[in-house]
Amino acid sequence: MEKQAKIYIAGHRGMVGSAILRKLQNEGYTNFTLRTSTELDLRNQQKVVDFFAMEQPEYVFLAAANVGGIVANNTYRADFLYDNLQIQNNVIHSSYVNGVKKLMFLGSSCIYPKLAPQPLKEEYLLTGLLEPTNEPYAIAKIAGIKMCDAYRSQYGCNYISVMPTNLYGYNDNYHPQNSHVLPAMIRRFHEAKINNASSVTIWGTGTPKREFLFADDLANACYYLMQTYNEAGLVNVGTGKDISIKDLALLIQKIVGYECKLLFDDSKPDGTPRKLMDVTKLHNQGWKHTIDLEEGIKLAYIDFLKHHK
């Protein structure tokens, strides 16, 4: 990407989009075209058509999405499918119509089958049934990957797909019901500390294992791949290491600094037993993460304290 190129980051105020914006600014890029969701509803085809025709971005990072944790995914199934398909369809097609040089589509590790072998290799896509609780979101993201590949195949578009593992970091969502597991735990332990609670309840059995990547590491990977990767298919982005939900809870408890009893509510769903990314392809491309989990959670907790009174 040329330093003076016009860059559109869809979702620049979200956790991922804001991390990508910070990374690009640190690398010396200044020519951004940015819109908030109130300024530009990406679900509205005509508004997206008009925006691209007027702004003519050269590079696009598609980080905008309707996202949430296991409860949000399972509750707002129609919204998650409709909103994400609309956003992707509009941005990807308008990028083609307006001659965007390169587009990066950001997906999620939930695209893989629920019982796929571990760690998850890129070729396991569409080899089995999805986890039911987040199936609508996963189907939308799979459609996005296939759309990028189809536009590459039919029209020669240089559109690439990146699949991050579970993310956390600055500007995360700490909503009590709709957030992901790691930020939800940060909030829960912090509130227990403030209220001097005797226990904290963790959803599920605590046995599922998850992998977590700091969002600024993802942004570094996105920048690296935007410069170096030009192929069909998808690239996993993760650490290649996972942790049980119970051990994650103990780590967050230590960082928040509050001793109390841990309770596990096994009436709540566990989700997929394990989700560990195979990051061999990414490592072979020459990129590895730099922020380990404990350091990242400390940074996220500082950010939480700054923005959530």
**Is position 144 annotated in a ligand binding site?**
no
How many angstroms separate the Cα of 187 from the Cα of each of 114, 168, 179, 247, 269? Answer: 28, 13, 10, 17, 20
Residues 6 or more apart whose Cβ sits within 8 Å of residue 137 = 66, 67, 73, 80, 81, 84, 108, 110
14 assigned binding-site residue: yes
28 is in an annotated binding site: no
> 62 among the known binding-site residues?
no
Is 188 within any annotated ligand binding site? Answer: yes
Residue 271 annotated as part of some ligand binding site: no
Residues forming the active site: 137
Which of 169, 187, 167 has its CA nearest to residue 177? 187
* Alpha carbon distance 255, 21 (integer Å): 28
- Known binding residue 203? Answer is yes
Classify burial at 286, counting beta carbons within 10 Å of its beta carbon; exposed 0-12, middle 13-18, buried 19 or more. Answer: exposed
Nearest by Cα to 237 from 125, 162, 140:
162
Query: Is there a binding annotation on residue 241?
Result: no
Structure tokens belonging to residue 6 = 């016009």
Consult the annotation and say whether 208 binds a ligand. Answer: no
The strand ranges marked E within 215-260 are: 234-237, 243-244
Annotated binding residue 99: no
- Coil, helix or strand at residue 275: strand
Known binding-site residue numbers for NADP(+): 11-17, 106-109, 141, 164-167, 180
Known binding-site residue numbers: 11-17, 106-109, 141, 164-167, 180, 188, 203, 210, 270
Known binding-site residue numbers for substrate: 188, 203, 210, 270
